[in-house]
Amino acid sequence: MKDLGVITPAKLRNAAMDLLTGREFSRAELHSKLSKRFENHSAIDDVLEQLCDDGLQSDSRFTHAFVRSRVSRGQGIARIRMDIREKGIDQELLAKILNEQEVDWFNLARDVAQRKFGNEEAKDQKAKAKRMRFLQYRGFNFDQIKYALAAEVID
């Protein structure tokens, strides 16, 4: 590791703000990045608390952006929950934000299936299983997958 000189709270804050100019980060992500860069400096928690108080870092804002991004990628709730857990976001906060979102998960699953496989019905059980695995990997539950695959026939 390179010599960082005297590490001050101002230096920590500037490093955190540099990261935040690129995109939103969860508090846990910022803590991890700063801890690696500044060898677990004792002032990291205080700096992060101040950033939160100043409105420069917000787990709520991060979670909103994360969920919007993942929905636009065609991911379901299970996948979003799994991925955001790695970012250190509280599951209660995620549940609150998911409830605020007006996402029709059934239609999203159908749209994802249609983009991936087109409107043709699966030719055999093997093809249907492949579609089910794909949608399951994307984070959709059984009912949403069933709806998405049944919609192939209806459309």
Q: What pTM was estimated for this model as a whole?
A: 0.85
| CA pair distance 7, 39, nearest whole angstrom | 10
| CA pair distance 36, 54, nearest whole angstrom | 24
Of 43, 54, 53, 49, nearest to 27 (Cα)? 49
pLDDT tens for each residue of 75-100:
999 999 999 999 999 999 999 999 99
pLDDT of residue 155: 45
pLDDT tens for each residue of 117-154:
988 888 899 999 999 999 999 999 999 999 999 865 55
Distance of CA 99 to the CA centre of its chain: 15
Spell out the domains of the chain, with CATH numbers in brackets: 9-57 (1.10.10), 60-100 (no CATH), 105-154 (1.10.10)
DSSP string across 58-89? -HHHHHHHHHHHHHHTT--HHHHHHHHHTTT-
Of 96, 85, 79, nearest to 145 (Cα)? 79
pLDDT of residue 3: 47
**97: how many CB neighbours lie within 10 A of its CB?**
21
pLDDT of residue 4: 54
3-class secondary structure, 23: coil
Helix axes 105-117, 125-137, angle to 10 degrees: 130
Alpha carbon distance, N-terminus to C-terminus of the chain: 59
pLDDT tens for each residue of 52-74:
999 999 999 999 999 999 999 99
Of 69, 103, 108, nearest to 87 (Cα)? 69
Of 9, 3, 46, nearest to 27 (Cα)? 46
